[in-house]
Structure 1
Amino acid sequence: MISTPKTPGVYITELNAFPNSVAPIATAVPAFIGYTPRADYRGASYYNKAVKITSFAEFQAYFLLDNPPPPAEPARQYSPAYYLVAQNAQPDSGQFVLIGGTYYSIVPDPSTVYYLYNSIRLFYQNGGGDAYVVAVGAYGAPSHRPASDASAPIVNPNVQLADLQRGLSVLLKEAEPTLYICPEATLLTVADNGTLMRGMLEQAEQMGTALCVFDIIGADKPDPVHYTQDIQTFRGNVGQNGLSYGACYYPFIGTHVMQPAEMDFTQLFGGDTAQLAALINPPAAPNVAVAALLEMILTPPAQAMSNSQLQAGLLNASQSYRTIIEKVLECVNVLPPSGAMAGVYAASDNSGGVWSAPANRGIVGAVSLPIQLSDAQQEGLNIDADSGKSVNAIRSFKGAGILIWGARTLDGNSQDWRYIPVRRTMIFLEQSIKLAAQPYVFQPNTADTWGAVKAMITSFLTGIWKAGGLRGATPDEAFHVSVGLGSTMTPEDLLDGYLRISVQVAVMRPAEFLTIAIVQEQAKSD
C-alpha cells in the first residue's frame, strides 16, 4: 500500500484473501547409500553427493555404465563372480549342483557381491518414485577366489564402513529423504554393521525426518534351526537409541531381477574356461559341440562370436551348463528386502496415505523365500519381551503368495512408537507444520500471529482428518491446536522471543490383532 500518495488519483491495493497454508511434504523418498559402477554426469563427479532421481532412467544416466553403440553388446552393470566347489557329500545349506556324481557348492567371490543396483531396480518395480542416491565408490577388484566358508555370511572387503558412514553424513544436509536405505550394510562384518546401524538411527533421531529400513546379516541363507541366532545378533548390535526411527525385515527375498542374459561364462571361475570345461566337457563324457564353443572362447576366430552368442550356444549344447547358470542366478537373485520395501512404502502412501501400514502387501518381483516362517516362529520376531526390538516377517501364504506380515518399528515395547505408520505419520505432520511455520519467524509475537498460525495448522489437520489420517468422529476428537499467552506461553516466553505451539493428534494405529469371538447359541424351541 502507498502510505503517502503525492499525486491525486485512484490507487488499488491487492490484499491476500487466504492465509498461509501447510504444504504436505513427500512421505516416501528413500536415500540409497552404496556402491555404483560409476558416478558422473557431463564430466562432473557425483561420488559422495546426494543426487535426486525421479526414475530408473535418471539413475542410469548418473550411475550406470554407458552402453556402446550397436552392434556391440550392452555394458554389463553388475558382474558377480561364482565358483563351483566340490563337496564330499550333499551340502546342508546353500545352492549346489550334482554333476557327474559329485556335489558342487555354488560359492561367490565375496569381493564381487553388491546389492545397491538390484535394490534400486526392486524399488522402481514396487512403485517407487523420487529418491536420492549417494554413491560412495565404484566396484572394487575381485579376489579371484571363492569364499572360504559357503555357509557363512558374505563379507565383501571392498565394502568399507568408512565409505558408508561418509555417505550417511552427506544426508545431514538433506531434509527431504524420509527413508534411509543401505542394502550393502549386510556385506560388512557384524561389528561394522552394528556401528553403521547405530549411526543411522542416531542421525535419523537427530534430524527427525527419516525412518531407517534395515536388513539382517545371515538372512540370505538362514539355518532352518539356528536362524534365531542371526536375529539375536542383530538385536544386540543395533543399540538402544533412536529405535522408533528404525524398522527391520526378515528374511531376504528370492527374485527374478537378474535375467539370464545378464549372466554368462565370464562370471564363472573368474573367467577360467579350463575349470568350466572340466565340468561341462569332462574326458569321461566329451561333448563335441561344447568343446568347439570353448575353443572359440579361448582362441577367438577372425569372425568372432559375441559373448551372448557363445552363451546361447553353451546353454543349448550342455544340460549341465544350463543347470549351473540357473543355480547361480538363484544365488544372485537372493536380495535384501530393504530396497523393495522402499517401493512398497511409496505405493502404500500413494494408495492409502502415510498412515496406512505398509503390510499385508505383496512384493513385486519376489518369487521365493530362503526360509518359510510359521506363526509360531514369527512370534519371537514380532514381539521380544526383553529387547522390544521387533523384526517384521516376510512370509509365504498358500493362495496369497509372499506377503509383508508385520508393521512394527524396532521400538516394539513402546505404546507410542511401536508401529511404523504412527512414526511415519508423526514425521509427516511434524515436518509439514515445521516448514509451514518458518515464514512466521521474526513476525510480531501477537494475537494476530497466533491466530494466523492456529488457523493454518487447524486447516491442515482438518484435511488430514477428512482423508482418514486421524482418528475421531469430529475434528475436535481428532486433534487440538493451542497457541497464545496463557495457554502455551508465559510473559517470560514473550520477552525471550518464544512462540510456542501445542498440537495434539489422535494418530491411526493398525489393527494388528483381529479377534473374532464365536459363540455357540443353544437351539430355540419352536
Structure 2
Amino acid sequence: MSRFLTPDVYTEEVPLLPQSVAEVSTAIPAFIGYTEKAVKNGKDIGNMAIRVSTLLEFKEAFGGAQTASFNVKVNDDNTIGNIEVTAPQHTLYHAVDLYFKNGGGDCYIISIGSYQNDYNKASFLKGLEVLSKEDEPTLIMLSEAVRLDTVDYHEVCQSALAQCQELKDRFCIFDIQKDDEDATSFRNGIGTNNLKYGAAYTPYLQTSLTYRYNEDNVLISGSSANAAVQLEIAGAIRVVYNGSVQDAPKVKINKGSGSIPSFSISEATLTINVGVGTPASEIIDTWNSFSDKGDFDITLLNGATIVESSTGTSDLINTADDEVSVSLSSIKESRSELYSRVVSEVSKQRIVLPPSAAVAGAYATTDRERGVWKAPANVSLNAIIGPVRKITSKDQEKLNVDATSGKSINAIRSFVGKGTMVWGARTLAGNDNEWRYVSVRRLFNMIEESTKKASQFAVFESNDAVTWLKMKAMIESFLYGIWQQGGLAGATEEQAYFVNIGLGKTMTQQDILEGKMIVEIGLAAVRPAEFIILKFSHKLQEA
C-alpha cells in the first residue's frame, strides 16, 4: 500500500484486467545431423542448438550441401546415355531446404559432426541431450538418423520419445527406413512406451531438389566422350584425345637425334618430334609448356625412356583394360557442346529424401493458417515429384490401423489432380482413444505449456481465494479464445471446457498447508473426421 507523507497530488494505476495466457509456438522443429561446418561469428557451434530463420542463415553458419558424384555414359551419336549417381551420405542441408519450401519458419539446428564423420548412435544421443536443455523447440527431427543401423535408429527414436514424455512440450516426427516398406521392423523395434508423443511417415519422397557437385567429380565415358588411348613406346606415355572419336585422331612419332621434344597439331593428328633415348618425363615437361594442345593430352605412365623405333603414324586405339573416363571440367573449353549437354542432364537428377522434413513444413503451415487443433493431413506437399513407392488404399489399411500392436503409420500418397498429399494423422498410439490423433496430442501440448508459463506469476503468491480467482479467470479467458477459433468442441463454453480450483473442489486443507495450488482443467478437443461415410437409399415415388 502506498504511503503518503508529503502534501501533493498522487496518481495511481489500478489494474482491472486479469493476467493473460500467451500461446506458445507449436511448430519449431529441431534438426539433428551432420553439416559442412559449424561456425558462427568465428565461434565453434558444434553440438549447440542454433536458431535459424532462413536457408541463407543455415548456409552462413553450417555451410552448403555435401557434393554428389556422377558417372555419365555418352552414346556413339553423342547423346547422353545412362547416368549413375553416387548420392551424398549426409542430407541435412536438403532436409532443411525442403522444410522451408513447405512453409516452415524458424527452426533449430544441432550439428553433431562434419561430412567427414560417419553416422553413429552416440552422436545422435548427444544431440538429443543438447536439445533437452532448450525450451522453445516443439518438434524433434531425426531424418538423418534413418541411415543408422536399424537397431541403433530405433534406440535413438525411443530416446526422443522419452524426452517428449519428460518435458511434455514437444513431439517427434519419425521416418520409416527405406527398406522397411511395411513398417514391420519399426513397429517391432520402437517398443510400447510414450507412443502418444510421436508419429511416423512413409515412404521416401522424390523431391525436385538437385544435387550439388564439383565438375571434377563428374566422369564421362563412352566412345563419343573421348577417343581411345594409345600407349606409346614401352608404356612410357599415354596420348588421350578429348574430341570425338569420329575425328579419327592420330599420333605421329618422328624420331631423330634431337634431344628437345617438340609438338605440332594439324586437324586431329598430333606430331611428336623426339630424340632416341629421351626420358618420358622430359616429354611431359615440354608438353605441359606447349600452348596449343587442342583436344590432345599426354600423361606419364612410368619412368621409362623413349626407345628406338621406326617413325610412323598410328590411329589412337584403346589399349587399356577399362574404358577411359574424362572429367567434366576437362572438356569445358574443348567440347563446350558436350559439356552443356552433360550439365543439363546432371541437373535433372533429383534427390530422394525421407518425408519428415516436408511433413514438418506441413505442420508449420497448418498451425499458422488453421491452428494446431487442425489435423496436419490432406495437405499438399511442395517441391515433391512424388513418393518413391505408390501406396494404394488397400496398402494403407495395414499401415493406418494395426490390430496387433496399435502402432499407426501415416502414408504419403499421390492423387491424380491433387499432387502428393499427407494422408494420415495418427500418432504411434493409433488404437488409443485419447491420444490417437496428432492434432489432439499437439493441442494439449500447446495448452499445457502455455498455461504453465502463464501461471508462473502465482508462485509464492497467497494461496487463497483471490489468487484462485485470478488463475481461474486467466485460464478460462485463454480457453474461451481457443473455443471461439474452433479448437474445442461444444455448442457452449460449458460443453467445451471447464476450470476448477478451490478448497473442497481441487484442494484439501492439507494441500494448502503443503503449499499446493491445484487447478483442474477439462478440454473437449476436436477430432478429425478421418472416415466420412455417405449413406444413400432409394426414396420411394410419392406421386
Query: What is the TM-score when the length of structure 2 is the normalising length?
Result: 0.78
Q: Which residue of 2 aligns with 1:55?
A: 54
Give the match for residue 115 of structure 1: 91
- Aligned in 2, Cα 1:185/1:455: closer, same or farther, shift over 3 Å? same
The C-alpha deviation readout for 1:309-352, integer Å capped at 9, x for no partner, is 9569878427995797367x23xx11111111111111101110
1:167 pairs with 2:127: yes
Q: Does 1:394 align with 2:412?
A: yes
Would you say 1:288 and 2:267 are equivalent positions?
no
Residue 180 of structure 1 aligns to a residue in which SS?
strand
Partners of 1:411 and 1:300 in 2: how far apart? Answer: 71
Q: Distance in 1 between matches of 2:328 and 2:84?
A: 22
Q: 1:314 to 1:424 in 2, by over 3 A?
A: farther
Query: 1:30 corresponds to which residue?
Result: 29
Q: Map of 1:487-502 to 2, 5 A cutoff?
A: 487-502=505-520
TM superposition shift of 1:173: 1.1
Residue 440 and residue 369 in structure 1: after superposition, are their counterparts in 2 closer, same or farther (change >3 A)? same
Query: What SS is found at the alignment partner of 2:209?
Result: coil
- Structure 2 CA distance for aligned equivalents of residues 435 and 312 of structure 1: 64
Match of 1:79 in 2: 67
User: 2: CA distance between counterparts of 1:311 and 1:98?
Assistant: 15
What is the root-mean-square deviation in Å for CA atoms of aligned residues?
3.2
Say which SS state the counterpart of residue 37 (structure 2) adopts: coil
Pick aligned residue for 1:237 from 173, 180, 189: 189
- Letter paired with 2:445: I
Q: Deviations over 1:19-55 (max 9, x none)?
A: 1100000111101111111111111111111111222
Aligned residue type for 1:288: G
Deviation at 1:11, TM superposition (A): 2.2
Q: Following the alignment from structure 2 to structure 1, what is the Cα–Cα distance between the partners of residues 245 and 102?
A: 40
- 2:172 aligned to which of 182, 189, 212: 212
Say if 1:445 and 1:250 are closer, same or farther in 2 by CA, change over 3 A. Answer: same
Size of the aligned set, in residue pairs, is 458
Amino acid paired to 1:139: Y
Please give the alpha-carbon distance, in whole angstroms, between the structure 2 residues aligned to 1:313 and 1:523.
Answer: 83
Corresponding position: 1:317 with 2:338: yes
1:108 is displaced (CA, Å) by: 3.0
For 2:291 and 2:456, how far apart are their aligned partners in 1? 70
Encode CA deviations 1:199-232: one digit per residue, 9 max, x unaligned: 111111111111100111116xx7xxxx32xx10
Q: How does 1:266-415 map to 2 (within 5 A)?
A: 266-268=216-218, 273=219, 276=221, 280-281=225-226, 283=228, 288=243, 316-317=337-338, 321=342, 325=346, 329-330=349-350, 333-415=351-433
User: What residue in structure 1 maps to residue 2 of structure 2?
Assistant: 2
Secondary structure, aligned partner of 2:411: strand
Structure 2, unaligned runs of 5 or more = 230-240, 248-287, 294-326
Does the 8 A contact of 1:314 with 1:321 survive in 2?
no
Cα distance in 2 for partners of 1:321, 1:518 equals 58
Q: CA deviation at 1:8?
A: 2.2
* AA aligned opposite 2:97: R
**Aligned 8 A contact 1:264 1:325 in 2:** no
Q: Is the 8 A contact 1:265 1:311 kept in 2?
A: no
Give a deviation string over 1:430-458, Cα, whole Å, max 9, x none. 00000001111111100000000000000
Stretches of structure 1 that go unaligned for 5 or more consecutive residues are 66-76, 85-96, 142-157, 293-298
Q: Give the deviation of 1:370 after TM superposition.
A: 1.1
Q: Name the CA shift for 1:83/1:309 in 2 (closer, same or farther; >3 Å).
A: closer
Q: Which moved more, 1:459-468 or 1:368-377?
A: 368-377
CA deviation after TM superposition for structure 1 residue 428, in Å: 0.4
Aligned to 1:296: none
Identity of aligned residues (%): 37
What displacement does 1:307 show? Answer: 7.0
Q: Which amino acid aligns with 2:462?
A: P
Tell whether the 8 Å contact from 2:75 to 2:223 is kept in structure 1 after alignment: no
Instruction: Say which SS state the counterpart of residue 267 (structure 1) adopts.
Output: strand
Q: Following the alignment from structure 1 to structure 2, what is the Cα–Cα distance between the partners of residues 379 and 300?
A: 70
Q: CA deviation at 1:522?
A: 2.5
Q: Structure 1 residues 15, 159: CA separation in 2 closer, same or farther (over 3 Å shift)? A: same
Which ranges of 4 or more aligned residues in structure 1 deviate by more than 6 Å? 97-100, 299-304, 306-309, 311-315
Which residue type is aligned with residue 152 of structure 2? D
Q: Deviations over 1:452-494 (max 9, x none)?
A: 0000000000000001100001111100000010000001101
The partner residue of 1:471 within 489, 497, 512 is 489
The answer to whether the 8 A contact 2:216-2:329 is kept is no
Q: Deviations for 1:376-395, whole angstroms, at most 9, x for unmatched residues?
A: 00101111111111111001
Judging by fraction of residues, say which structure has more helix: 1
Q: Aligned AA for 1:496?
A: E
Q: Is the 8 A contact 1:290 1:318 kept in 2?
A: no
CA distance in 1, matches of 2:244, 2:224: 14
Q: In the alignment, what sits opposite 2:148?
A: 188
Deviations 1:169-193 (A, max 9, x none): 1111112111000211111111111
Q: Per the alignment, in what secondary structure is the counterpart of residue 288 of structure 1?
A: coil
Distance in 2 (alpha carbons) for counterparts of 1:491 and 1:168:
42
> Contact conserved, 2:161 with 2:172, CA < 8 A, in 1?
yes
Moved more, 33-42 or 306-315: 306-315
- Kept in 2, the 8 Å contact 1:362–1:401? The answer is yes
Query: What SS does the aligned partner of 1:371 have?
Result: coil
| 1:21 and 1:436 in contact (8 A); partners too | yes
Q: Hey, what's the Cα distance between the residues in 2 that align with 1:449 and 1:460? A: 17
Amino acid corresponding to residue 239 of structure 1 in structure 2: G
CA distance in 1, matches of 2:145, 2:333: 35
1:404-435 CA deviation, whole Å, 9 max, x = no partner?
A: 10001101010000100000000000000000
Output the CA distance in 2 between the equivalents of 1:363 and 1:32: 19
- Secondary structure of the corresponding residue to residue 380 of structure 2: coil
Change (3 A) 1:8 1:506: same
**How far did 1:288 drift?**
2.1
More strand by share: 2
Pick closer, same or farther for the CA change 1:504–1:314 going to 2, 3 Å: farther
